[in-house]
Amino acid sequence: MSDLVLLESQGAVATLTINRPDKLNALDREVLAALRGRVEQLAANEAVRCVILTGAGEKAFVAGADIAEMKDLSVDDARAFSREGHAALAALEACAVPVIAAVQGFALGGGCELALACDFIHASTKARFGQPEVKLGVIPGFGGTQRLARRVGIGRARELVYSGAMIGAEEALRIGLVNAVHAPEELQAKVRALAETIAQMGPYAVSKAKDVLRDGEGRVLSDANALEVEGFAACFGTDDQSEGMAAFLEKRPASFRGA
């Protein structure tokens, strides 16, 4: 497996690291392929209950897609590259367990899009976000126009995409792009603590909640609520539900198996 994306597991928490620090972790075809490969590995590991996604080095989470690779693409080549990016990020988004982006430094263009494909984002105070593609004469190509609008609202997404503006972590927090901001030296520890908390919850329930939240987005409320009804009911066919409720009534920690 390529070392462009590293995978480390510690207990029930796995960490994916985009490992191209000499290029500020820029996304090219090889990195996208490596990311998909690592996501497939995660899917085969039932012990993992939460994932942290980060970038190597202190300067960037992911500074963007690799402009040197994109510069001379034809229309057909650009379409294919965009589809590769969409496929990799869709695979990450479809991961059965929660994925938390831990963003230090730049998360621009493809880097912002990568973070948006995660369940939510925690950032360092030094993090910087943006979709600056219009400065290069193109638009976001890995889902930025769509996921950004769903995360922060269509008005703010339009402003960020049309202007190519870069915003700091506090502004990203204010508009709902990120969930929390931490001191740089505390980011990884804070995110790991949260990931470990999530990993202690009922894994089937967390996975089902992720499915319902994702699949209900954009549906009319009655249809989305119907998904919740079925998801709620499905939990009652699991050992985790029996264990969780028995542990509560017996005033002891639950021991979940994920089934």
Neighbours of 167 (CB within 10 A): 18
Annotated active-site residue 113? The verdict is yes
Mean pLDDT across the chain: 96
Q: Tell me: the pLDDT tens digits for 55-81?
A: 999 999 999 999 999 999 999 999 999
Express as a percent the part of the chain with pLDDT over 70: 100
Amino acid at 229: V
Q: Tell me: the pLDDT tens digits for 204-224?
A: 999 999 999 999 998 999 999
Q: Tell me: the pLDDT tens digits for 236-252?
A: 999 999 999 999 999 99
Level-2 CATH architecture, domain 5-199: Alpha-Beta Complex (3.90)
Question: Which of 197, 224, 201, 226 has the alpha carbon at shortest distance from 213?
Answer: 224
pLDDT at 251: 96
pLDDT at 258: 80
Could you tell me which residues come within 8 angstroms of residue 169 by beta carbon, excluding any fewer than 6 positions away?
123, 124, 125, 126, 127, 128, 129, 178, 181
The pTM of this model reads 0.95
Q: Is the pLDDT of residue 2 over 90?
A: no
- At 169 the three-state DSSP class reads helix
pLDDT at 79: 97
The domain limits of the chain are 5-199, 203-249
Q: Tell me: the pLDDT tens digits for 12-24?
A: 999 999 999 999 9
Q: Tell me: the pLDDT tens digits for 163-204?
A: 999 999 999 999 999 999 999 999 999 999 999 999 999 999
Considering just the CA atoms, what is the radius of gyration of the chain in Å? 19
Catalytic residue among 113, 159, 170, 171: 113
Q: Interior CA angle at 88 toward 83 and 91, to 5°?
A: 120
Distance, CA of 64 to chain centre: 15
Catalytic residue among 133, 186, 196, 217: 133
- The count of C-alpha atoms lying within 13 angstroms of the C-alpha of 17, restricted to the half-sphere facing its C-beta, is 14
The domains spanning 5-199 and 203-249 adopt the same CATH topology: no
Fold annotation for 203-249: Lyase 2-enoyl-coa Hydratase; Chain  A, domain 2 (1.10.12)
Mean pLDDT of 140-152: 97
pLDDT at 1: 66
Annotated active-site residue 230? The verdict is no
Express as a percent the part of the chain with pLDDT over 90: 98
